[in-house]
Each structure stands twice: as C-alpha cells, then as structure tokens.
Structure 1
Amino acid sequence: MTSVTSATSTTATGSTSTSGNGITADYSTFLNLLTAQIQNQDPLSPMDTTQWTQQLVQYSQVEQALKTNDYLKTIASNSGDTMSNAVSYIGKTVQTSDATATLKNGSADWNYNTADDAASVTLKVTDSKGNVLYTETNSDVSSGDHSFSWDGKTSAGKTETSGDYTLTVTAKDSNGSAVTTTTGVTGTVNSASTASDGTVQIDVNGTLVPLSSVTKVS
C-alpha cells in the first residue's frame, strides 16, 4: 500500500514539469496507479473515498494550470501582432522577411538584398514540398536591394499553377566566399486576417504573410 501511494504522489508531482503534449499520457498513468492503489488497499482499513477524490481534483488542477500556461504563452508571443495593428497597414507598402510568394496571374514577385558586391547570385524557386522548379544565375550583382519576378515557368519548360512558392538566394564573391543575403516580399497591404493557428497575417499583393515578418512600412 505504501509503495503504491508513493508512486502515485511522484507521478502527480512530476507532471508539473511535463509539457502539455504529454499530459494525456501522464493522466492515464495516474489513473492506473490510482486504480492499483484502490485494488491493493487493506480491506480492513479501506482508503477514505474523499482521499482519492481529492487526488483526482488536484491532478485536474495541474492539467488546467498547464493549459493556462500554454494559452498565456500564445498571448505573449502575439502581443504586438494585434488585428488593430494589422488593419493600420492596409493601403501601405510594406517589406517583409517572408521568402514565400503567391504565384497569381502568371507572376510571383520577391525582393532580395545582398550585403556586399557579389560575383555570382543563384536564385532558386521551390514549391511547398521543397522541389526546385526554377534556377537562375546572375553575375556581377552589386550590393543592395534587388527584385525578382517569376512567371511560373520551370527550368524544364513546364508552367506551374497558382500557389505558394519560395525563393532562395545564394551569393558568392570573387573568392567564392558566401555573401549575406536576405529575401522577402514587398507590396501593398490589401487586407488583414487571423490564421488558423491564431497568428495575425496580412495580404501583400495576394500573398499572405505573418504580420511579425514586416520589416519596413512606407
């Protein structure tokens, strides 16, 4: 009896440090231990029903506390990305750090920046599965901001349908050393909405990007 009670206490205490993803497994373990505790109790001195009821209540409180903490973390992470902030961007031109653009009406547009002069810059467009669809290499690219527009045609000559595509930019100097680059989407904000995960997003020329990715507003 004593050993089973001790194991139950340890499980309930340890659950306070587990993540929300493991709460279901811990709860099942707790119930199994509680059942064993009841089955192995001394029939001449049975456990008071209020005792194990209180244990269930205590564990439920721990479960609720974990869920509350997860909820508060979500609120904290989105504290600066409110819908009111997003709405204030509508009609303005923004620059983002999101490298995914939407191919719409035969065009997907990005902007990229090279920190220093580059001897060669390779542009790769990939689909949502990571497949490389188009590759282009430019030479003698100066430092600063640049733009790239893709018409949806792959290197193999196939025309892709509308959808989201990602641009990857790799730059090297004359010595073959990597040059720092950044990639994003620039355009006018048409609308604001809330994504399924609760984050606030804006529509930039038909591309939905997180509000948190905005790096410049004009």
Structure 2
Amino acid sequence: MTVSAVGAPTEVTSGARTRLAENFDTFLTLLTTQLKNQDPLSPMDSNQFTQQMVQMTGVEQQLLTNDLLKQLVGNTNSGISTAVSLIGKEVRAVTDTTALKGGKADWVYKLDREAEEVKVEVVDASGKTVHTKTLTGDAAKGGEHAFSWDGKDVSGQKLPDGGKYTLRVSAKDTTAAAVPSTVYVQGMVTGVEQAEGQTMLTINGGKVPWNVVSSVSLPAATASNDDTDPGDAGDPDSTSNPPPADA
C-alpha cells in the first residue's frame, strides 16, 4: 500500500468530519432560534428536527466506523502481518524495558565515548530501584556492552519471573560530564500480538513495540555452556562486549 493510497481516505474522512461538525453547529443554532421564536399556540413539529439529528448521528457513527476499518486495514497490511515474519529471528530493539525470565534479565547498553564509571540501576514497574551497580574498566569504554541481572533485589531476595524491569544507565567521564548512552534489548522473537492499537513483539518474555526494532538477523547457533567466559564465573551481574547485530 502506497503512502498516497493511505493518505487519500484520511484526508476525505477528516474533511467529512469537519463539514459534519460545521453543519451540526449550524443546525443547532437554527434549531435554537426556531424554538425561541416559535408560536406557543402552534409549536413546530418535533419529528422533523429529531429525524435530522438521527441522520447526523448516523453519519458520525459511519465516520467512526471508517476510522476503525482504516486502523484494522493498517494493522493487517503493515503491522501484524509484517511482524509475524520476525518470529524466530534475532532482533535488537531500542528499549530499556524487558521481563525477568528464567531468573535473569539482559540488556545491551552503548556508550558514545569512554566513561570513567557507569552506574546501572534496575527499576521495577512501580519505579522502585531493586538493583544498582557501578561499572568501571572495560565496561566503561566507548561502544556496546552486555549487562545481565540475576533477578535479586538489593536485599538479595530472588524476584519472581514475569515482572517488567527497566535499566537506567548513568555514565560520567573524568570531568564529571555525562556520557550519552543508549539501551537495547536483544533476543529471539517468540510471539506477535495486537495490544491497544500497537503491534507488540515478545522478546525474552517481554513485550516490545515492533516499530522500535533497529536490526534483524538470523539466530546464531546455540552456544554450549562450556563456552561461558570463566572471567564471569561467580559474578551474577556480568558485562561483556556483545557480537554486533546485523543492520
């Protein structure tokens, strides 16, 4: 569907709604004037203006129906039908929120330049900080870094799977100036659904709008547990440089 094909019905519907509003305002003005000046001994027939109001209401309902149909067509042509093709693909999305799944949550953060230290905070759906950590060294260099949280709050209690959590990144250089950063979620798409007019992808157990996907690639072969970096052993929150995703 071309842009012009979508835009034309939109302009027609918008113009029709504007004219309807103008006509309805004019109709109410005339009706009010007639009621004020009618002959008390010979009042005007209420059936006429009642029928006109019913007709205008019917036109308004038709316009609303057209809007719903347009949204449905848009979802079918450029939303869910396209997003379904992403199932089973490895994607990266520009979002800082994901779900706790299998006792952990993973993000990728990108620093525009090298920082002296990076403070990461995991925040739950209510805005409460449940985990915080300060990263230095390689984790503070410019570029991309993977961050994995073990699902434990500040008291060491294991939180249940399924909750939504947001990663906040605050990085500063040696002059205490802020270093810009971007947070991503990366993983395989396992589902697609419509929610509140948006096409949502299921990635790592969390829901992500499909229009924030920045890259798509074929899934890599599942790595063996023996390939785990020994340097991360014993550290529940690990960071590393992730492999670049295909553009």
Tell me the TM-score range normalised by the shorter chain: 0.7 to 0.9
Distance 2:97 2:131 in 1: 14
Q: Does 1:145 align with 2:150?
A: no
Question: For residue 92 of structure 1, what is the amino acid of its counterpart?
Answer: K
Kindly indicate whether the alpha-carbon contact (under 8 Å) linking 1:81 and 1:200 is maintained by their aligned counterparts in 2.
no
Task: Name the structure 2 match of 1:175.
Answer: 175
Task: Name the structure 1 match of 2:49.
Answer: 52
Distance 1:145 1:75 in 2: 38
Larger mean Cα displacement after TM superposition, 125-134 or 49-58: 49-58
2:124 pairs with one of 120, 123, 127: 127
Kindly indicate whether the alpha-carbon contact (under 8 Å) linking 1:116 and 1:142 is maintained by their aligned counterparts in 2.
yes
- After superposition, the Cα gap between the structure-2 partners of 1:65 and 1:209, relative to the gap in structure 1 and judged at 3 Å, is same
Task: Name the structure 1 match of 2:21.
Answer: 16
Kindly indicate whether the alpha-carbon contact (under 8 Å) linking 2:75 and 2:81 is maintained by their aligned counterparts in 1.
no
Kindly indicate whether the alpha-carbon contact (under 8 Å) linking 1:202 and 1:208 is maintained by their aligned counterparts in 2.
yes
Distance 1:134 1:69 in 2: 48
Q: Find the residue that maps to 1:185 and give its secondary structure.
A: strand
- Please tell me the root mean square deviation across aligned C-alpha atoms, in Å: 3.3
Distance 2:150 2:115 in 1: 25
Shift of 1:150: 0.8
- After superposition, the Cα gap between the structure-2 partners of 1:50 and 1:200, relative to the gap in structure 1 and judged at 3 Å, is same
Task: Name the structure 2 match of 1:100.
Answer: 97
Shift of 1:203: 1.6
Distance 2:176 2:20 in 1: 52
Shift of 1:204: 1.4
Distance 1:184 1:154 in 2: 22
Taking the TM superposition and a 5 Å limit, the aligned residue runs for 1:61-76 are: 61=58, 63-64=60-61, 67-68=64-65, 71=68, 74=71
Shift of 1:111: 0.9
1:114 pairs with one of 108, 111, 129: 111
Task: Name the structure 2 match of 1:23.
Answer: none
Question: For residue 182 of structure 2, what is the amino acid of its counterpart?
Answer: T
- After superposition, the Cα gap between the structure-2 partners of 1:47 and 1:182, relative to the gap in structure 1 and judged at 3 Å, is same
TM-score, normalised relative to structure 2:
0.66
The unaligned stretches of length 5 or more in structure 2 are: 1-17, 23-27, 218-247
Question: For residue 94 of structure 1, what is the amino acid of its counterpart?
Answer: V
Shift of 1:159: 1.8
Q: Find the residue that maps to 1:158 and give its secondary structure.
A: coil
Kindly indicate whether the alpha-carbon contact (under 8 Å) linking 2:98 and 2:204 is maintained by their aligned counterparts in 1.
no
Aligned residues: 192
Q: Does 1:198 align with 2:197?
A: yes
TM-score, normalised relative to structure 1:
0.73
Distance 1:115 1:78 in 2: 35
The unaligned stretches of length 5 or more in structure 1 are: 1-12, 18-29
Q: Find the residue that maps to 1:125 and give its secondary structure.
A: strand
Shift of 1:108: 0.7
Shift of 1:117: 1.1
Distance 1:57 1:51 in 2: 10
Q: Find the residue that maps to 1:130 and give its secondary structure.
A: coil
Task: Name the structure 1 match of 2:80.
Answer: 83
Distance 1:216 1:142 in 2: 23
Distance 2:134 2:104 in 1: 19
Percent identity among equivalent residues? 44
Shift of 1:51: 3.4
Shift of 1:78: 5.2
